Amino acid sequence: MSAQIIDGKGIAAEIKRELKGEVDNLGKQGITPGLAVILVGNDSASQVYVRNKSTACERVGIYSETRMLPQETTTQELISLIEELNQRRDIHGILVQLPLPPPIDKKLIFTSLSPMKDVDGLSPVSLGMILWGNPTFTPCTPAGILELLQRLGIDPQGKRAVVVGRSRLVGLPLANLLALKRKGGNATVTLCHSLTPGLASITKGADILIAALGRPLFIRGEMIKKGAVVIDVGINRVEDPSTKKRYRLVGDVEFESACKIASAITPVPGGVGPMTVAMLLKNTVQAARWSCLEK
């Protein structure tokens, strides 16, 4: 048996085509969706992500603006910029690229974001609304995973879903979304982390297994139930002197062995990553649509 390779890149491209149509329609009403991306410091991976997001915006007709701040930026300076962007009528979405340099108080930063512009879905209001069952903006990676499952006709209802990793960015919101009493939810969810004993016996019970732990090739074939759907969120750089960049990207799942057991699996790259970007664009278009209602 060899798993179906889930074409996240292709599905993301389809979503972007749909969004382009919506952006054109908004344009007829005199609205160009606008996204501001804030990057603090000089983390090289973050620079790549920010560039990709801005290119993706351009392609669907979303205005994007990148604000680069130095490594030594203070919490107050960052809040001042966010407050300025909260007020701008041409900016509908604000994204603060993570990670932020450690002295910056992340909770204060995300609290200062206007919930109506929090297109990355990480403010306390956005995260809290998930538990109320009607998310405003869903964090982009979990949103991308739910969208992938939906477009592939994989209904989590009644399935055992195991999420490995409990970050606020991915695992925690995703586990809650999968457990919600609504379409696309209704799974029986287990959330695992670094202190979970007997991880393999838990992952082996999963009909849907989501690996979001940031450990290269950690989940191997023997940890997977036969026929499971495997979603690999991990993006890890591993040294590879044979490549020009001297590294390559791998996921949290050992792809080769997992392919022999799973029924479907996302590759890295080309799986969840492009869906995350597509969901950012989708949330930004949604924010622009809401701004029309405010007028």
Write out the catalytic residue numbers. Answer: 53, 97, 120
Kindly state whether residue 215 participates in binding ligand NDP, applying the rule CB under 6 A.
Answer: yes
Judged by beta carbon, residue 212 or residue 230, the one nearer ligand NDP is: 212
Contact 136, 289 (CB under 8 A): no
Would you count residue 167 as binding ligand NDP (CB under 6 A)?
yes
- Which residues have CB under 8 Å from 147's CB, separation 6+? 11, 15, 275, 278, 279
Measured from the CB of residue 254, what is the shortest distance to ligand NDP in angstroms?
A: 14
Options 127, 145, 161, 170; binder of ligand NDP; rule CB under 6 A:
170
Find the binder of ligand NDP among 33, 61, 93, 165 (CB under 6 A).
165
Angle between helices 8-28 and 140-151 (to 10 degrees): 110
Contacts of 49 (CB under 8 A, 6+ apart): 97
Q: Which stretch binds ligand NDP (CB under 6 A): 27-35, 149-157, 178-186, 231-239?
A: 231-239
Of 34-42, 65-73, 165-173, 284-292, the segment contacting ligand NDP by CB under 6 A is: 165-173
112 CB burial (10 A radius; 0-12, 13-18, 19+)? buried
Report the nearest approach of ligand NDP to the CB of residue 200 (Å). 10
> Binding of ligand NDP at residue 213 (CB under 6 A)?
yes
192 binds ligand NDP (CB under 6 A): yes
Residue 273 touches ligand NDP, criterion: CB under 6 A: yes
Nearer to ligand NDP, 8 or 34 (CB): 8
Provide, rounded to whole angstroms, the least separation between the CB of residue 20 and ligand NDP.
21
Q: Which two tokens stand for residue 202?
A: 């838990």
Q: Which of 8, 16, 18, 36 is nearest to 96 (CA)?
A: 36
CB 250 within 8 A of CB 54: no
Cβ neighbours around 50 below 10 Å, total: 20
Check: CB of residue 200 under 8 Å from CB of residue 181: no
Residue 164 sits in the site that holds ligand NDP (CB under 6 A):
yes
Pick the stretch among 114-122, 209-217, 220-228, 280-288 that binds ligand NDP (CB under 6 A).
209-217
Instruction: For residue 208, give the 3-state DSSP assignment.
Output: strand
Of 171 and 185, CB closest to ligand NDP: 171
# residues near ligand NDP by CB under 6 A: 25
CB of 149 to ligand NDP, least distance (A): 15
As measured in angstroms, the least distance from the Cβ of 125 to ligand NDP is 20
Q: Residue 138 interacts with ligand NDP (CB under 6 A)? A: no
234: nearest Cα among 203, 265, 205: 265
Least gap, CB of 30 to ligand NDP (angstroms): 33
* DSSP β-bridge partners for residue 103: none
User: What are the residues whose beta carbons fall under 8 Å from the beta carbon of 255, sequence distance 6 or more?
Assistant: 217, 232, 265, 267, 268
Binding site for ligand NDP (CB under 6 A): 141, 164-167, 169-171, 192-196, 199, 212-215, 233-236, 272-273, 276
